Amino acid sequence: MTLRILTAGESHGPALTGIMEGMPAGLPLSEADIDHDLRRRQQGYGRSGRQVIEKDHAQILGGVTGGRTTGGPIALQIENRDWPNWRDKPRPVMTIPRPGHADLAAAQKYRYADLRLGLERASARETATRVGLGAIARALLAHAGIVVASQVVAIGPVQATPVDLADPNTRRRVDQSPVRTGDEAGQQAMIAAIDDARRARDTVGGVIRVEALGVPAGLGSHVHWDRKLDGRLAGAMMSIQAIKGVEIGAGFAGAATPGSRLHDPIMPGDGGTRRPSNNAGGLEGGITNGQPVVVTVAMKPISTLLKGMESVDIATGEPTRATYERSDICAVPAAGVVAEAMMCLVLADALLEKFGGDSVEELDEHMARAES
C-alpha cells in the first residue's frame, strides 16, 4: 500500500483528525477543496438536526505549504461543533444496546460497561474524516484525468433510472438533487418514501452507484488476492457504516445471465481494442481494463429508530426497548459521497502503486512514458 490513512476521534468529542502519508509533493491543495466534499456529505433529504449544528471545515495542520503538498504526511482536523453541547452534560451509563448498531458487539469485544464507549467511535460521524482525506485523493486523481462520481439508484422500494455521469452537467444536477439522483420522477418518489418512513417513526436504506471515469488500464494485479483491485474496492466500500452489499459491474444480475451475453466482447479499436459493453465494471482479473470502474453498494436502513426496538438491559438482564439517539431517517445520499471518497482513496493508492513518483511532476513523467 502506497498511501497510508489513519483517522481518530469520536462522534461527540472535540474534533475528528486524519493523517494521509504518501501523497506526492507539488499537488495543488486548499482547505476549500476539501470543504467542498465535506459540504456534499452533510446534504441530503432525511438527515438529522445535527447537520444544522455542524458546519464541517477541514483545517490543514501539516503536509501543505503555499497551497501545495510537500510530500510529508498531511494532517487534517475537523471540529465537532456539537462538542460544547456535550462537554459539560452529565452522561448516564448506557446499558441498553440498539439492534443493528455496534453497541453490543463492541461491548462484548472490549468489555465496556458503558455502551457509549463503542458507539462514539462506531458512529458514521467518523466518515467526515474519510471524506476529507478522500478529497485529497480526488485532487490527485483529477490531476491524472480521473473523475469519481456517484448517484442514488434506489431508496427503499423506489428505483430510479440511472443517468450518464460522464456529462459534467448531469453530475451537477445529481449533486443538486436532495436525494442525489438525476431521475426527476424517481426523486419525487424517493422523497415520498422518506416522508412515509418518518411518519412511521422508521428508517429507510437504499442503493448507490459509484463510477470512476478515465481510469487507465493496468491498475491492480491478478497475482495475489490482496493486490486485486476489485477486492480492495469491495473491502473499502464494506468498511463504510451501514453498507451491507457490494457488487462490481453487473454483479448479482450477472449471476443469472448466460456467459455469452454477460462478458464484454473485445473488438478492434483506434490504436488498440474497444468494448461495446461494460458488464465487468472496468475490472477483469483484479486489474482495470480501461473501462469506467463501476461499483454499486447497498445501504441498510439506519439502525436508530424513533420508536426503538426490542433489546435487553445488559446491566440487569431485563428485556426492554432501545432508547432513541438523534439520528437520520435516511442517509443514503450522504453515503454516496462517502463511497466516492473510499473509491478515490483506493484508486489513488493504486495509481501511485503503478506509476510512482515522489512529486506530481515525476508522476506525470512516469504516466507519459507508459502511454508512449
- Give how far Cα 181 sits from Cα of 25, 134, 159, 244, Å: 36, 21, 10, 21
CA–CA gap between residue 334 and residue 330 (Å, rounded): 9
CA–CA gap between residue 60 and residue 30 (Å, rounded): 8
The per-residue pLDDT for 51 is 59
The per-residue pLDDT for 226 is 94
CA–CA gap between residue 365 and residue 356 (Å, rounded): 10
Domains of the chain (ranges; CATH) run: 4-371 (3.60.150.10)
Q: Dig out the grid coordinates for 169 from the structure.
A: 452537467
| Residue 309 parent element (H or E) | none
pLDDT by 10s per residue, the chain, length 372: 699 999 999 998 999 999 999 999 999 999 999 999 999 999 999 886 655 566 899 999 999 999 999 999 999 999 998 888 777 777 889 999 999 999 999 999 999 999 999 999 999 999 999 999 999 999 999 999 999 999 999 999 999 999 999 999 999 999 999 999 999 999 999 999 999 999 999 999 999 999 999 999 999 999 999 999 999 999 999 999 999 999 999 999 999 999 999 999 999 988 789 999 999 999 999 999 999 999 999 999 998 888 888 999 999 999 999 987 767 899 999 999 999 999 999 999 999 999 999 999 999 999 999 887
CA–CA gap between residue 324 and residue 305 (Å, rounded): 6
The per-residue pLDDT for 113 is 94
Q: Is 245 helix (H, G, I), strand (E, B) or coil?
A: strand
- Give how far Cα 202 sits from Cα of 71, 102, 143, 190, 328, Å: 47, 19, 43, 15, 10
Q: Dig out the grid coordinates for 86 from the structure.
A: 456535550
The per-residue pLDDT for 271 is 79
| Residue 229 parent element (H or E) | helix 229-238
